Amino acid sequence: MDTRAFAAKSGFPLDRPYMSAVGAARDLIGELVIESINTKGESKTLDAMAKDKAKKVDELLEDTGEFGK
């Protein structure tokens, strides 16, 4: 219990990046998930779409000054 209280007060969530544009990133990634579901993972554009969405999420992080934090 003491360890958990100390970590909650002093810790940093290194398991995920800080992102203030969560809604926009969720929408971008959600489009990819929907494409995958609708095509049962067989979309010919899925790979290119994933790369595009990842690039756009990186751009969101860059625009907010959070990329690489």
Query: Does the pLDDT at position 6 exceed 90?
Result: no
pLDDT at 8: 75
Give me the pLDDT at residue 12, please.
66
pTM to 2 decimal places = 0.70
Collapsing DSSP to helix, strand or coil, 52 comes out as helix
Which contacts (CB < 8 Å, 24+ apart) does range 18-24 have?
Answer: 18/66, 18/69, 19/60, 19/61, 19/64, 19/66, 20/64, 20/66, 21/60, 21/61, 21/63, 21/64, 24/60
Q: Delimit the domains of the chain by residue range.
A: 2-63
Cα 23 to Cα 29: distance, rounded to the nearest angstrom: 10
Helices (H) and strands (E) in the chain, counts: 3, 0
Q: Is 41 or 13 the better-scoring residue by pLDDT?
A: 41
pLDDT value at 14 more than 80: no
Question: Mean pLDDT across the stretch 18-30?
Answer: 91
